[in-house]
Amino acid sequence: MRAADIEGDITRVLFTEEEIRSKLDEIAARVAADYEGKDVVLVGVLKGAIMVMADFSRALPVSYPMDWMAVSSYGTGTRSSGVVQIRKDLDTDLHDKHVLIVEDIIDSGLTLRWLLDNFASRGVASVEVFALFRKPDAAKVHVDCKYVGFDIPNDFVIGYGLDYAEKYRNLRDVAVLAPHVYA
Ligand code: XMP
Ligand code: MG
């Protein structure tokens, strides 16, 4: 875990940095093959997807443009409000582009459902989703996610870009947050 001061804040490590890296290699190879010859834009969802985007984009054998969007549906709690707000919009025009949304985690699915509807109205050639983590038991709406790293239990997780109240994003592994931290 490599940050001694937070060891008491987690109940267990779910995935190590190494396990995440090899999953990213696998998905990068699939994506490169699926999108061969296509005009792709990677869209990262801030801030949670920063680590995924950094490592996933470098695992790709091709160079795609990257853009970022910041939305919020959470505040500082651990439950989705369902109300999505754009905090930072894209800098590029997605018209006729093949968009691959890069997400840290799909929990209720509400954020992604909203993003997909939003992107559809921008005249994209196609839009697919890569989420490193997905919580099947937390789904409130169905979202088609073509590339999924790992399905995980319905626990609040931190690390590798994932935060609780803006902390823990810098942990190299992904771990379950101990309930006493947010209780
Ligand atoms: P929904 O519920 O809309 O969630 O699918 C979307 C966003 O909420 C954040 N999220 C989490 N962040 N640990 C986190 O650190 C979690 O367990 C967790 N679950 C959801 C995340 O930003 C996700 O994109
Ligand atoms: Mg996110």
DSSP 90-150: -SS--TT-EEEEEEEEESSSHHHHHHHHHHHTTT-SEEEEEEEEE-GGG-SS----SEEEE
What ipTM score was computed for the predicted complex, to two decimals? 0.91
The atom number, within ligand 1, closest to the CA of 143 reads 5
pLDDT at 2 over 60: no
Q: Ligand 1 centroid vs 73 CA: distance in angstroms?
A: 9
Give 7's pLDDT tier (boundaries 50, 70, 90). confident
CA-CA distance, 50 to 137, in Å (whole number)? Answer: 25
Note the pLDDT of residue 47.
Answer: 94
Mean pLDDT (the chain, rounded):
93
Q: Which of 85, 105, 129 to mutate to test the pocket of ligand 1 (most atoms within 8 A of CB)?
A: 105
- Residues within 5 Å of ion ligand 2, judged at the Cβ atom: 45, 48, 104
Q: How far is CA 115 from CA 70, 71, 88, 174, in A?
A: 11, 9, 13, 25
Contact 105 CB / ligand 1 (< 6 Å)? yes
CB 109 within 8 A of CB 137: no
Q: Which residue has the tokens 């239990």?
A: 153
Note the pLDDT of residue 164.
Answer: 96
Note the pLDDT of residue 84.
Answer: 86
What tens digit of pLDDT does each residue of 52-77 get? Answer: 999 999 999 999 999 999 998 755 56
Note the pLDDT of residue 106.
Answer: 96
DSSP 10-55: EEEEEE-HHHHHHHHHHHHHHHHHHTTTS-EEEEEEETTTHHHHHH
Q: Ligand 1 centroid vs 156 CA: distance in angstroms?
A: 8
Note the pLDDT of residue 79.
Answer: 63
pLDDT at 6 over 90: no
What tens digit of pLDDT does each residue of 82-136 get? Answer: 678 899 999 999 999 999 999 999 999 999 999 999 999 999 999 999 999 999 9
The protein residue whose alpha carbon is closest to atom 19 in ligand 1 is 107
What tens digit of pLDDT does each residue of 136-169 get? Answer: 999 999 999 999 999 999 999 999 999 999 999 9
Considering the domain delimited by 17-155, tell me its CATH architecture. Answer: 3-Layer(aba) Sandwich (3.40)
